[in-house]
Amino acid sequence: MAALTVLVLLALGDLLLAGSAADGSVWPAFLVLSLGLAAVLWPVARRPAWLTPQLRTAVPAGVSVVLSAVAAVTGRMEQPGPGEATILLCLLMVAVRTCPPRWAGVCAGLTGGAVLALPLRGLQTTLQNNDLGFLFAVTLALVLPVGIIGGLAAYLRTLDNRRALAVTETRRFERLAMAADLHDFVAHHVTGILVQTQVARMMAVTEPDRLDPVLADIEHAATEALASMRRTVGILREGPQEAAGPDLADRHPAADLSAVADLVEGFGGFVGPKAVLHRTPAVPGDLPHEVQSAAHRVVQEALTNVRRHAADATEVTVGLTYEEGTLHVTVRDDGHGGTQMPYAARGGGFGIVGLTERVTALGGELRTGPRPDTGWEVTALLPAAGVGAKRLAT
């Protein structure tokens, strides 16, 4: 907010300078400054779709270049103040960092050229005073901020591209993991259906009165397999909503609620914090496989983050509750954020994003943040009924 205030004050200073000039013409400065401020300060949430980065940067820079050219020829416009140059440097940052690749160079060249062309507005005065050295010095002084801003923007664009690439890769890994889970789960149920069908065929001859329980098990297994297949295929076709971390070694068929107890039990050891699992009796044991797998991943990643970022924690509490068709998974610690691990071993921040990938893909919600007193809390709401049924119906 302070930077925006300074930018507006600099623009007002430019207008005052333009008004105090010999001809007192303010409208050229007002035009370019208003266009530049609108391009820089327009809120992202309210920015229309047609206001692309290339339009935001090219129009004010183009107007500035035209004004500089006209002033160089006619001498009717004095050299501008720092406001216009600052706005153009901001637009240079936008052009290099956010414009599409084929437009980035064009818009960056136009905005950078507009900055370097500003001294031309005093060309006539410079020629009258025979002081071309001053004009050259001012232009040379502007090359430095243009180079710094352009280089910084290019570096930030590289970081953005790396982040986008990492997000894309993690999405792919998550989708592959979901596909592997689907294969394992459906294969398990289809194998059971095959075995039970063979038993049912034999019982049809020897014990036909005992067929009903066997057929009920076959129906249940087929329903579960179809439900899982439809949910997961729907996720893979529609695409998840966030990004995640590629930790494929964690994803195995046994990642269910029964394995959560093993995770908690093996977490602390002799040097780690005490870990306790609270699972209410209301939590069903036959929740959908995707829900159990997601719950296991939430607990696993949260416990891993405690080790990475809260080595001073003394107690970790894992809670599993079930209310109104939704499984609530909560992991709390009492750490203050201290860690003894090397920086390279603390992760790149993709783990929580990976949980968001999986949880939101199932129609759930993931919440992370500090606790009111001390420590950190991770909460996942995984719909096992209601929301899940709606997804199956679509």
Is the per-residue pLDDT at 348 higher than 60? no
The pLDDT assigned to 386 comes to 46
User: Tell me, what DSSP letter sits at residue 21?
Assistant: S
* 102, 103, 283, 289 from 99: Cα distances, Å: 8, 6, 50, 43
Of the segments 41-45, 223-227, 264-268, which one has the largest average pLDDT value? Answer: 41-45
The pLDDT assigned to 382 comes to 92
203 vs 251 pLDDT, higher one? 203
* Each residue's pLDDT tens digit, 199-248: 787 888 788 888 888 788 778 777 777 776 776 676 666 654 433 333 33
Q: Are 63 and 31 spatial neighbours (Cβ–Cβ below 8 Å)?
A: yes
pTM over 0.85: no
172 vs 383 pLDDT, higher one? 383
Question: Within its chain, how far is the Cα of 110 from the centroid?
Answer: 31
The pLDDT assigned to 244 comes to 37
* Number of Cβ within a 10 Å radius of residue 170: 23
* 63, 89, 207 from 30: Cα distances, Å: 11, 18, 94
Confidence of residue 96 (pLDDT cuts 50, 70, 90): very high
Confidence of residue 94 (pLDDT cuts 50, 70, 90): very high
* Number of Cβ within a 10 Å radius of residue 249: 6
* Number of Cβ within a 10 Å radius of residue 158: 11
The pLDDT assigned to 241 comes to 43
The pLDDT assigned to 232 comes to 67
Which domains occur in the chain, in start order?
A: 2-130 (no CATH), 167-238 (1.20.5), 248-393 (3.30.565.10)
Is the per-residue pLDDT at 394 higher than 50? no
Among the residue ranges 10-19, 180-189, 291-300, the one predicted with the least confidence is 180-189
User: Average of pLDDT values for 383-393?
Assistant: 50
Tokens of 115: 């900055």
- Percentage of the chain beyond pLDDT 90 is 27
Question: Within its chain, how far is the Cα of 282 from the centroid?
Answer: 35
Among the residue ranges 106-115, 221-230, 246-255, the one predicted with the least confidence is 246-255
357 vs 166 pLDDT, higher one? 166
268 vs 262 pLDDT, higher one? 262
The pLDDT assigned to 346 comes to 42
Can you tell me the distance from the alpha carbon of 384 to that of 284, in angstroms, rounded to the nearest whole number? 10
> Taking CA 198 as the corner, what is the angle to CA 193 and CA 201, rounded to the nearest 5 degrees?
120
Confidence of residue 256 (pLDDT cuts 50, 70, 90): confident
Is the per-residue pLDDT at 39 higher than 70? yes
The pLDDT assigned to 342 comes to 43
Confidence of residue 339 (pLDDT cuts 50, 70, 90): low
The pLDDT assigned to 270 comes to 44
Tokens of 86: 């600052």
Can you tell me the distance from the alpha carbon of 119 to that of 130, in angstroms, rounded to the nearest whole number? 15
The pLDDT assigned to 238 comes to 60
Can you tell me the distance from the alpha carbon of 218 to that of 192, in angstroms, rounded to the nearest whole number? 8
Contacts of 394 (CB under 8 A, 6+ apart): 234
271 vs 62 pLDDT, higher one? 62
User: Average of pLDDT values for 299-306?
Assistant: 82
Q: Give CA torsion, residues 331, 334, 335, 341, to 10 deg.
A: -40
